[in-house]
Amino acid sequence: MQSGGSRQRHVRHRIAAARRRPSATAAPIVTVLVVVCAGLAGGQARAASPGASPSANPSAGIPSCVSSTAGSVTVSPYVIGNAQLPATFTTNDAYFAGNATYFDVYTLDCQKINVIPVGSGETQDVTFVGGSDLSCGPHYFDDKYYAGGSTPDQEFAGGFFISCITANPSTILSTQEPVSVTLTGSRFFADYSSFSVTVDGTQVSTTPTIDGRAGTVTTVITAQGLACGPHTVTLSEKLAGMNPIIATTTLTVQCPGSSNPPPGNPTMTANPTVVVDGDLTHVTGTGFTPGAPVTVTWQTTSGTVLYDCSANALTGKPLSADASGKIDTYCLALPHGEMGAEQIAGDQPAAGQTPAEHATVAVVVEGGSMQPSTGDQFVFRR
């Protein structure tokens, strides 16, 4: 492992920088490209390894904001499942308090983030929180250290992976049960004995097929005796001395004759669709993930948010889809607001096994029949 060496270079340089205050051009530049090691932080024993851990090279999808010459740091855990988000990640990148001249810029997938130092003095590691909106696949932590110049004096980067599973088919009819459903996981360890699969918390029998080189897993379960509605399928793996990997997805059972579309295909309606400013329109939606929050907003036709949907123009009421995935609310077209073609959108964020859901309905906002008075007369339009 070379992560310790990178950290020592980081520490030594930054102590010297604090004393000498060198220019950015005078500082040593780390030019070693190191593939991120397979998560041995904390002295964990390497019982097995997943295929192709995230690495600092273009073929692995490294973002453009990370230099190919960045020194390597480890991120722990370096692979977890989507059901474990949000999660706290710890790196072996050393933390130093910055000032106007010497400072670090930390990013996650090229977006600035706040970090939490762990430890004391010059032994503080860098910890950050990965939110529930992290997508499946590789992600990259990056630390650019500036020592008085406009370009980074040093840079350190490390990758980690969010593993997910998919179900095929993801929606079945209750009349079809029992049905064989194939589960595919994107990144797991190559160990047959450590897997378990549950449906709504009840373990089911399964035998996984593992691609050891890619780290993917495929297994088939039998869906039977499941009630109509969404069900949570969980695939987990726990090796001794390693962080668990827990990923979930939704398997939906539809009742015959049900008019509700399954989660993943939400639709919305507005009545009326032509709204006079200052009036309400009745907004309904189906096909959202049951029980999950839904944000309803007025938007331009291109998707720019104008303001939250509210029945009283004061504040948007917290809204969640009901047990069947429906929403029902009223939206006020604000007086003297935007006019013309608009849309009302319903959005559910991605969290755990829940994918991001989005639906819109087209509306037109017209001005009212009364105009402000001029002098002692009213102007009335028809």
**Could you read off the pLDDT tens digit of each residue along the chain, which spans 382 residues?**
333 334 343 443 443 333 222 333 333 333 222 222 222 222 222 233 343 333 333 345 688 889 988 999 999 998 899 999 999 999 999 888 888 889 999 999 999 999 988 776 667 889 999 988 888 889 999 999 999 888 999 999 999 999 999 999 888 888 878 888 999 888 776 555 678 899 998 988 777 777 766 667 888 998 888 888 889 999 888 776 677 889 999 998 887 655 545 556 788 999 999 999 888 999 999 888 877 889 999 999 888 889 889 887 666 677 888 877 889 999 999 887 788 899 999 988 765 445 578 889 999 998 865 444 444 444 444 3
Cα–Cα distance measured from residue 266 to residue 310, given in angstroms and rounded to the nearest whole number:
20
Contact 318, 295 (CB under 8 A): no
Check residue 194 and give its pLDDT. Answer: 76
Cα–Cα distance measured from residue 357 to residue 285, given in angstroms and rounded to the nearest whole number:
12
* Start-to-end C-alpha separation, the chain: 78
Cα–Cα distance measured from residue 305 to residue 188, given in angstroms and rounded to the nearest whole number:
39
Contact 359, 294 (CB under 8 A): no
Residue-wise pLDDT tens digits, 44-98:
222 333 433 333 333 456 888 899 889 999 999 988 999 999 999 999 998 888 8
Phi first, then psi: give them for residue 342, nearest 5 degrees: -140, -170
Check residue 36 and give its pLDDT. Answer: 26
Contact 244, 237 (CB under 8 A): yes
Cα–Cα distance measured from residue 278 to residue 336, given in angstroms and rounded to the nearest whole number:
8
Give me 160's structure tokens: 């980690």
Q: Is 90 exposed, middle or buried (0-12, 13-18, 19+ CB in 10 A)?
A: middle
Cα–Cα distance measured from residue 345 to residue 319, given in angstroms and rounded to the nearest whole number:
13
Check residue 264 and give its pLDDT. Answer: 60
Give the three-state DSSP class for 7.
Answer: helix
Annotate 27-40 with DSSP letters as a single string.
S-------PPP-S-
DSSP β-bridge partners for residue 89? 128
Check residue 91 and give its pLDDT. Answer: 92
Sheet holding 179-185, edge to edge: 165-168, 179-185, 216-223, 209-211
Mind listing the domains of the chain with CATH numbers?
A: 3-163 (2.60.40.10), 165-254 (2.60.40.10), 267-370 (2.60.40.1930)
Kind plus residue range of the DSSP H or E element containing 90: strand 87-94
Check residue 214 and give its pLDDT. Answer: 67
Cα–Cα distance measured from residue 283 to residue 317, given in angstroms and rounded to the nearest whole number:
13
Check residue 228 and give its pLDDT. Answer: 82
